[in-house]
Structure 1
Amino acid sequence: MEQREMKKLYDEIDVPKIEVTSAIRQAIGDVKAEQKRHWFKWNWRTPIYSVIALVVLYFSSGFLFPSLNTAMARVPIIGQFYMMFHDKVGMSLFQSDLVKHVNEGAESRGVTVKVNSVYYDAGRLVYTFTVENFHTKEDFIPINIDSDQINENFQPNIDSPELKKLKDGRYAGRMEFYTNGQMIKQGQKAQLVISKIGDIVGNWRFELPVVKQKTTLFAGQKEVSILNGRYQLKDIKVENGVNSSVIQYAIDYNGVAKDDDITIDIMKDNLGSKYRLKNAATLKGKKLSTEKTRQNALTILNKPISPNTTELTFYLNWIYEHEESKIISLQNQLPVQFRTKHHGIGIKINKIKQKGRSVTVDYQFTGVDKEKLDEADMKNVGESIGLGDVKKMKSWSDPAANYENGYYLKGNNAKVTNLKTASMQSTFDFDVKELDKLSLNHFSFKDYGLYLDLSVLNLLAPQKEIKVTIPVKKETSKASQ
């Protein structure tokens, strides 16, 4: 990946664009949401920079702290930490004497933080530490971490750390970061500032230098066009470690697809091995021009890529195809229709009528392959149509996600009335017990309208597997001087 692009690679984690589409996918069984506990709280000003601390990498992967023991004796308590946090990679490296022992401490407000071990394995930087003289009955305590030094080459995995209580009263912590070793400069200083542990505000500071060595990589040999140039997969880099590997890549979105979003979760090599690209640090897209954006991603893989690999195949399991949203007044002259730019899938509103405390909308989908239409898909797309106060909807950033209770119904009872003509009917009931908070407190036919997210219509286009194969070869990169 070109250095001028990599310099800005790690600037900000993206915010999901597809709340409505994800909800529909969940309804048809494509997506399942999982809640996760977050014990660590990050300063909003520096969410990605706290990771700069303790940049320690064992000798075979390219980084060293000069102050570390080069040959660490087996320390039972550190092995227990990796077991406690279910860190299989850390445990394997520990057993192979590749985890480095650290003896760095900081004290503030009577509480001591001691960093005791660190390892780096293919993009994953992990360190363990203990907190002493913190007295509480809680089994878990939160910790706030800030950074004085801005560095764009790290991303914290905010799902990984937990501060757990030990039997002797101390607390143990583990922190994991995603990092790009190719961009860390020789002699760089890394700072960590812990500003709060539990309810105690303090100042626990660490500052350590970085020493780099040579790193061997796989690099993609070309960029590949997808769907007639709508997307381009490029700048493939793979760094192998002992028990894992890290892959980074870029996707360019062109023309009508400039606001789209691609999800890649499976990769295979030409030797038959399969890799899951999960826990990716997907970063906010960069606008290259009015018709082109770029998205960069970094993913930790659960095993090294074979040194004999010559090709990597990526499977694009989901493409969010962005379209404009529309607000249609209930008093709008009918029929009215719209089409998507990606596939020409359309929706035609034929009739709107009110009956008591409900509104019924008759419409049909156009530009679809009627022989391959699925009634369940049609129903789920129809149920995404919303009903709300027109003035308020225009003031909301996203009516489907950021609405005001009492003025918006984001769901309806949709049914297929004629499959051959792709005709539908949606009924909005104002008073539904199961949707108490979403029920309309008042309604005026002249003030209300329909909210249509045209992106959802693309779900009715034919779906097919997309895979992209890119040749790769080894290359050696010397440490930055």
Structure 2
Amino acid sequence: MKNEKFSQLVDQLSAAQRIDSAKTKATIEQVLTTSGVHIKQRHHRVIWTFVSLVAAICVLTLSGMTITPVNHVMAQAPIIGNFFAKFDDDLGTIVETNGKSQKLNVTRTSSGMKVVLNSAYVQGKEVAITGTVDGLDKPKDDWFDFYLGRNGVKFSQDSMDMTKIANGRYRFYLNGQIKGAVPKNTINFPIVFTSFKGNFGRWAFNLHLTPSKVSSRKLNGKLTVANGDVKLKLLGIDEYAGGTGLLKIQQTKKFAKDEFTIFNVNVNVNNSKQNYLLANYDPIIISGSGKQQVVGYRVKKMPKNIKKIKIEPSLDKIETSQRTTLSSLPLTIRAKRTSEVFKFKKASLKSGKLTLRYYLTGTGSTDHQLISHNGNALAAINIMAKTYHDNGNDSVFGNDYLDQGNHRLINTKTHEFESTYDLSQKSGLKKLKLSQLQLQIDYEGLHAVPKMKQQIIQVK
């Protein structure tokens, strides 16, 4: 039986927790760290949508403000029985409230601990399972371990999480994707759990999951964004019985390493706008690589007869690293594809201490954001010998490469910074002169991804 009230609350909550990924993530990290709060992680992935919501509530509550829509939604949301909502799984919540999740209710006991698998769902290639473990009295770490046995589908884990219910009792969750074709009738999923929070045992379940019924419809439409750097072509939607879908788009990029994604998928229905994108799921690469890929975006069930789709795209342009000798300073260095400009003054080297002063503009971040966490963003400036040989990740640990310095803001009006480096830390640098040294600017992570305007794909 459908829980219509809960479905409405999920829609409200999805709208309430809309985030601007890069800036919001950095701000939340800083606020939580300053407040002494540790970010809770799913094993292998931070669930930023939920962290953003909780952090926003904490920060605004501490400042005397309230968020009426979010508070209202969270106060009304029914908890019992909605397993996937407890782990911020919007897709699973929709499936469950539509009555399309698969009830498991199977139990195994090992090492004095009882494990019960409660529920699962399959939507296309997406699989998720949730359950409980009892008798876990001495937790030693924060996660659990499992593997899939022989004769099962190939499965790639995406995230996992555990939350305490009572003393010795925890609820757990895992999700991921089936690799390769999805079986039509039955999905063999022989899952074996080997530990929970550092307590070992063997809990084996030979699950037979039911694949979701799927229907496909074609969509035709094209759009060029970012001054021709990205071309989009609508291919269609795979619609699953659980109430979700996969919007398939062919993305062709001018530069293969650029990172393109879509944050909003809005469709006007009866003069009412709704975002259909399930934002806490990464896009799925269906086929292709490099410059051209077919990508799937997970969405709620979309209406028929779509005339146009409004999207909010984002393009992170990958800028090539630049090197210059320190003896050539003063010098102005401009990024080739993004807007950063470094205007270096003459470098100073005294008793193994290198000092760089420079003006930095065009990052899209404030000076204080750049300098937060001991100038983490300014770690983009690395020092190396002119004879340095780039050998991938291994070479950054060599004796002629230094990526750790101290950074401070000198003047907020002129955007002047100072970076100092202790060359005595590296045997291959400490005796070198300015003419034997070079700096490298790594732009990745330095600039904020600019927000692009919403754009419309006309659907034919």
Q: 1:403 to 1:225 in 2, by over 3 A?
A: farther
**Compared with structure 1, are the counterparts of its residues 185 and 355 closer, same or farther at alpha carbon in structure 2 (3 Å cutoff)?**
same
For 1:214 and 1:340, locate their aligned partners in 2 and report how far apart those are by CA, in whole Å: 49
> CA separation of 1:326/1:111 partners in 2, compared to 1, >3 Å: closer, same or farther?
same
Contact 1:129 1:173 in 2 (8 A): yes
Q: Could you report, residue by residue, the CA deviation over 1:247-267 in whole angstroms, capped at 9, with x for unpaired residues?
A: 45453322xx22111242122
Deviations 1:147-169 (A, max 9, x none): 2459888654415x2153446x5
**Aligned counterpart, 1:191:** 190
Q: Name the counterpart of 1:79.
A: 81
Q: Say whether the 8 Å CA contact 1:283–1:295 is kept in structure 2.
A: no
Deviation at 1:361, TM superposition (A): 4.0
1: CA distance, partners of 2:153 / 2:219: 23
The 3 A distance-change label for structure 1 pair 201 and 79 is: same
Aligned to 2:215: 216
After superposition, the Cα gap between the structure-2 partners of 1:329 and 1:379, relative to the gap in structure 1 and judged at 3 Å, is: farther
What does residue 147 of structure 2 align with?
Answer: 146
SS of 1:194's equivalent in the other structure is strand
Q: Does 1:131 align with 2:126?
A: no
Closer/same/farther in 2, CA of residues 403 and 240 from structure 1, 3 Å limit:
farther
Match of 1:319 among 315, 318, 328: 315
With over 3 angstroms needed to count, the CA separation of the structure-2 counterparts of 1:324 and 1:84, relative to structure 1, is closer
Q: For residue 32 of structure 1, give the secondary structure of its aligned residue in structure 2.
A: helix
Deviations 1:427-480 (A, max 9, x none): 32458xxxxx99xx96854454322125678779xx67344433558xxxxxxx
What is the aligned partner in structure 2 of residue 412 from structure 1? 407
SS of the equivalent of 2:303 reads coil
| AA aligned opposite 1:465 | M
Secondary structure of 1:412's aligned partner: strand
SS at match of 1:158: strand
3-state SS, counterpart of residue 342 of structure 1: coil
Q: Is the 8 A contact 2:267 2:274 kept in 1?
A: yes
Taking structure 1 as reference, are residues 466 and 206 closer, same or farther at Cα in structure 2, changes over 3 Å only?
A: same
CA distance in 2, matches of 1:33, 1:162: 22
- What fraction of aligned residue pairs are identical, expressed as a percent? 18
C-alpha deviation, 1:141, in angstroms = 6.0
Structure 1 residue 390 displacement after superposition = 2.8
What's the CA shift string for 1:302-353, capped at 9, x where partnerless?
x43233433222211x32211221233323x456665544368765656333
Q: Residues 283 and 110 of structure 1: is their aligned pair in 2 closer, same or farther, counting only changes over 3 Å? A: same
* Contact 1:124/1:178 (8 A) holds in 2: yes
Q: Cα deviations across residues 21-80 of structure 1 (Å, max 9, x unaligned)?
A: x9xx65xx78435464346579xxxxxxxxxxxxxxxxxxxxxxxxxxxxxxxxx99727
2:442 matches 1:453: yes
Deviations 1:155-196 (A, max 9, x none): 54415x2153446x5543333445699844444422212222
> Any idea what SS the aligned residue of 1:204 has?
strand
In structure 2, the CA distance between the partners of 1:337 and 1:454, relative to structure 1 (3 Å rule), is farther
Q: Is the 8 A contact 2:143 2:197 kept in 1?
A: yes
- TM-score using structure 1 length: 0.59
Matched position secondary structure for 1:323: coil
Q: Does 2:258 match 1:260? A: yes
Distance 2:227 2:85 in 1: 48
- Contact 2:266 2:276 (C-alpha < 8 Å) held by counterparts: yes
Q: Does 1:304 align with 2:304?
A: no
Picking from 22, 37, 41, the partner of 2:40 is: 37
Could you tell me whether the CA contact under 8 Å between 2:127 and 2:176 is conserved in 1? yes
Cα pair distance change 1:83/1:312, threshold 3 Å: closer
Alignment CA distance shift 1:470-1:183 (3 Å): farther
- Provide the secondary structure at the position in 1 that maps to 2:81: helix
Q: CA–CA distance in 2 between the matches of 1:425 and 1:98?
A: 58
| Alignment check: 8 A CA contact 1:378 1:416 kept | no
1:354 deviation in Å?
3.9
Q: 1:328 aligns with which of 324, 331, 334?
A: 324
Query: Which one of the candidate residues 377, 381, 384 is aligned to 1:386?
Result: 381
Q: Quick one: distance in 1 between partners of 2:139 and 2:447?
A: 49
Contact (CA 8 Å) 1:387, 1:428: kept in 2 or not? no
What does the per-residue CA deviation read over 1:81-124, in whole Å, with 9 as the maximum and x for residues that have no partner? 56765668767766765443324344545544332333446775
Tell me, in whole angstroms, the C-alpha distance in 1 between the residues paired with 2:151 and 2:346: 57
Q: Which has the higher helix share?
A: 2
The answer for unaligned runs of 5 or more in structure 2 is 1-20, 30-37, 46-77, 372-376
**Matched AA of 2:441:** L
Please state whether the residue corresponding to 2:347 is helix, strand or coil.
strand
Whole-angstrom CA distance in 1 between matches of 2:172 and 2:318: 41
Paired positions, count: 386
Partner of 1:280: 281
Cα gap change, 1:198 to 1:338, in 2 (>3 Å): closer
The higher-RCO structure (CA 8 Å, 6+ apart) is 1
Counterpart of 1:353?
348
SS in 2 for 1:281: coil
Q: Distance in 1 between matches of 2:365 and 2:90?
A: 45
For residues 163 and 378 of structure 1, the distance between their equivalents in structure 2, rounded to whole angstroms, comes to 36
**CA 1:443 to 1:90, structure 2 compared with 1: closer, same or farther past 3 Å?**
same
**Alpha-carbon distance in 1 for matches of 2:442, 2:405:** 11
Aligned equivalents of 1:138, 1:426: Cα separation in 2: 46
Change (3 A) 1:273 1:358: same
Q: Look up the equivalent residue of 1:329 and give its one-letter code.
A: T
State the one-letter code of the partner of 2:457.
I
Q: 3-state SS of the aligned residue for 1:162?
A: strand
One-letter code aligned to 1:32? T
How far did residue 144 of structure 1 move?
Answer: 0.2
Q: Which residue of the partner structure matches residue 70 of structure 2? A: none
State the partner residue of 2:267. Answer: 269
Matched, 1:470 2:457: yes
**Does 2:447 align with 1:427?**
no
Q: Distance in 2 between matches of 1:453 and 1:195?
A: 42
Aligned-pair Cα RMSD in Å: 5.3
- Looking at structure 2, the residues matched to 379 and 211 of structure 1 have their Cα atoms a distance apart, in angstroms, of 48
Matching residue's letter, 1:175: L
TM-score (norm 2): 0.62
Partner of 2:106: 104
- Give the 3-state SS of the residue equivalent to 2:291 in structure 1: strand
- Structure 1 residues 298 and 211: CA distance shift in structure 2, 3 A: same
Structure 1 Cα separation of the partners of residues 252 and 163 of structure 2: 39
